[in-house]
Structure 1
């Protein structure tokens, strides 16, 4: 059982942190889970990344509870956890299991969305993270640089490379009208 400290000079107690953390989890879980899914390509890995990120945030403790940037910090932890996991398992592309692969029910529901999602899932992790943060989460270049702990120049170059890679994977005719006149 956690000890509950007394509020001294504006410090947050462990009980206050538990309440704030629960509120943050309720507010951010779905958005962060989907962000992790877009980067990972499957819900199971996204859940693992999200769980690790929330644990890291919780362990950072009450010193963060009163800060206005806590949601941004959580997003930064999610991205960095994803990238760290990718570095650990870079050598392994597929893992054999006894269960069938996930169905497309978990992926975007339009045909174009499915095609983009599949192309995105085959991209290098850093490019994928940049594209998800820039275009799905609508983050600025500076915010992405902060989340990825890199320079704005790196974000710009990874965005450029990522868009080029995505276009190559989608092919030249993607996005044009599919109706024949």
Structure 2
């Protein structure tokens, strides 16, 4: 199998996973698609090195996170806020109101804290794995997690939300 075929097979198999992580980071499906496109383009450029990585998924996840964080720092993003159509409904079996409230609250969390929460609780990474992915210390991961959970809790405790802080208590146990 050629390098291009290996790359295409990997990207095809992992694109929905990458898109979901990107959506959790930016809360916009169109922007998530742009983030994934940029990330897989960067992956293609580094494919010779990436394909032999010990954990290819972790390697690609780091690329995606760096693309997201770099975009957050650009002047264009700070000046232009695009609004999307209402979010897609969550997969079946979920309480729609709770999912919308949680999505809205996650969007209100600062980007670096949001990345930390997504890695810790959606990707189920340990503190150490998250620190490696973000290129920071474990103490930074712990403080970003605590601050992110506090921001979520503050948003969810706002009068419009039916959720309470007890709904996030299971997250702190990780």
| TMscore range, shorter length | 0.7 to 0.9
Matches for 1:81-120 after TM superposition, within 5 Å: 81-88=67-74, 89=76, 91-92=78-79, 94-95=81-82, 101-105=84-88, 110-120=96-106
Aligned to 2:9: 23
Matches of 1:67 and 1:53 in 2, distance apart? 16
Gaps of 5+ in 2: 168-174
What do the CA deviations read for 1:2-36 (whole angstroms, capped 9, x no partner)? xxxxxxxxxxxxx6221211121122111110000
User: What is the match of residue 163 of structure 2?
Assistant: 174
Structure 2 Cα separation of the partners of residues 93 and 122 of structure 1: 16
TM superposition shift of 1:61: 2.9
Shift of 1:107: 5.5
Pick which of 19-28 and 148-157 moved more.
19-28
Q: How does 1:61-72 map to 2 (within 5 A)?
A: 61-72=47-58
Partner secondary structure for residue 91 of structure 1: helix
What SS does the aligned partner of 1:167 have? helix
Residues 104 and 67 of structure 1: CA distance in aligned 2, closer, same or farther (over 3 Å): closer
TM-score norm. by structure 1 comes to 0.79
Is 1:59 aligned to 2:39, yes or no?
Answer: no
More helix as a share of residues: 2
Gaps in structure 1 of 5+ consecutive residues:
1-14
What is the aligned length? 159
Rounded Cα–Cα distance in structure 2 between residues aligned with 1:53 and 1:59: 10
Deviation at 1:52, TM superposition (A): 0.6
Q: Where in structure 1 do 4 or more consecutive aligned residues deviate above 3 Å?
A: 106-109
- Offset of residue 90 of structure 1: 5.2
- Among 140, 143, 153, which residue is 1:157 paired with? 143
Alignment of 1:112-151 (within 5 A): 112-151=98-137
Question: Which region of structure 1 is more displaced relative to structure 2, 22-31 or 100-109?
Answer: 100-109
Q: CA deviation at 1:117?
A: 0.3
CA distance in 2, matches of 1:27, 1:143: 23
> Following TM superposition, by how much is the alpha carbon of 1:145 offset from its aligned partner in structure 2, in angstroms?
1.0
